Amino acid sequence: MKNTHHGDRLKTSESAAEPQVGILWLVDGKLVIDRTALSMSEDCGAFKVHPGDHCSVWEKLQRCGAVPADVEYEECPRGRVMYDTKARRFSLLADRSLLKNKGVIRNIISKMNLPGKNTDMGADSHYRCFSCLQGGREDPD
């Protein structure tokens, strides 16, 4: 029997152990994640990714009241978890302020069932929040 509950967040012993890919924000100190089980993710080149993008998912989250209606999606620190099918590793690309918060990183790894030792983490200029951009500092990479 085929599982047709693509959007459900069902918690079973089997699904709870499966790693996930997705997009995330830190909103007023609270982690907000929109995610997909790896087995149901989409192909994007050599990567498995969550089908949603930050802009459209944020709008949906605003409509249901999960995030503030008066805040733009790029104002909060954000990131993305994807899976590299060639390297067989997960990648968390995020705002530097998110990556510096070890508690948030542990929370992301736990909630998304990521293998901590098999997950690469790095900053990406695409995911810089307004606070970091307004600081006027360009971090050399």
- Amino acid of residue 110: S
Whole-model pTM: value is: 0.77
Beta bridge partners of 33: 24
The residue whose two tokens read 């609270």 is: 30
Per residue in 32-87, pLDDT tens?
999 999 999 999 999 999 998 999 999 999 999 999 999 999 899 999 999 999 99
> Confidence class of residue 128 from pLDDT cuts 50, 70 and 90?
low
For 5-25, write each residue's pLDDT tens digit: 333 333 333 445 899 999 999
